[in-house]
Amino acid sequence: MKVFTKHLLIGTIGLLSLTAPANAQEYPAKPIRIIVGFAAGGGNDVIARAFGQKLSESLGQPVIVENKPGGGAIVATDYVAKAAPDGYTLLMSASGISVNPVLYDKLPYAVDDFVAVSQITSFPLIMIVSANSPIKSVSELVTYAKANPDRTNYAISSATFQLVTELFKQKTGAPMQVIPYKSANESVLAVVSEQVTTTIADAGPVLPQIKGGTVRALAVATSKRIDDLPDVPTLKEAGADVEAVLWSGILVPKGTPPAIVKKLEGEFMRIAKLPDVIAKLKPLGIDTIGNSSEEFAKIISSETERWGAVAKTANIKVQQQ
């Protein structure tokens, strides 16, 4: 009886060792869901659908994009954090994964509840004023703000944009009051109508206004000038030591098998380099990236530390409802 038990255990272990790799190789065996924390039609939704279509073609399974907007993407992020770690529920995360932990006293999830897969896109940020504004440069904006602290303000559509602008204020000493709006489009239109002095927003809603002549670009927050605005200096070139971009990336719940993470990492890195994906997103002011899991994890960690310091200095905190 003892001999039979021994042989049974050995046989079971051998069977498990054979089936585990096979299961990993069989992934995916059912549809994959990409959860987006923003409404349909927005930039992150468009990105998720562009990448999801290519992922479906490659893996031979449907890839379904589900929009779960609410709470600065907290609703969607929490949903994925509690999902089964099997590679079938992915989070399309924006920069908020780094920003929210430093702004909210309490979150229903932690950054450690996720494994980074790949940063897939980035969004250049542009500082603008109304085309009718007398301000022609960053230095003139700083001078104007210091001379008119009660009349100088800036528009934001999320806490992320507020942190970027507060960093600008900390680096330049320019006093400006924050005016919140519900969307990036609204914050840009507030500049067009001269309700506010300036805003720093992503290229999607800004570029059409620049090309239409309703706003003036003072600087871009990227490390180098962007192709769409070759004559517009970076903030560093303009004398403000500020560099910031927004980004989107894919994360999965902690505990997802490494082989599945590796497979997804390779797929998203590959898709980010496809010419038709690049061509689809470029007109929206979106650059494709496709870096590694390790590189993306380092970005999330460093950005959390960086924006935490900015928020502390500016005394910015949001109470979770």
**Domains in the chain, CATH or no CATH each:** 27-123+245-314 (3.40.190.150), 124-220 (3.40.190.10)
236 burial level (CB within 10 Å; 0-12, 13-18, 19+)? middle
The pLDDT score that the predictor gives to residue 23 is 55
Q: Whose CA is closest to 94, among 115, 123, 58?
A: 123
Backbone φ, ψ for residue 314 (5° rounding): -85, -5
Q: What is the pTM of this model?
A: 0.82
SS3 state at 249 = strand
Rounded average pLDDT per 10-residue block, the chain, 321 residues: 40 41 74 93 90 98 95 92 98 92 90 97 96 98 97 92 95 96 90 97 92 97 94 97 94 98 98 97 92 97 94 82 48
The pLDDT score that the predictor gives to residue 310 is 94
The pLDDT score that the predictor gives to residue 40 is 85
* Half-sphere exposure of residue 74: CA atoms within 13 angstroms, side-chain side: 19
The pLDDT score that the predictor gives to residue 307 is 93
Rounded to whole angstroms, how far apart are CA atoms 154 and 78?
Answer: 31
Cα–Cα distances in angstroms (integers) from residue 260 to residues 88, 159, 235, 267, in the given order: 10, 33, 40, 11
Q: What residues contact 152, with CB distance under 8 A and at least 6 apart?
A: 144, 145, 174, 175, 176, 177, 197
317 DSSP 8-state letter: -
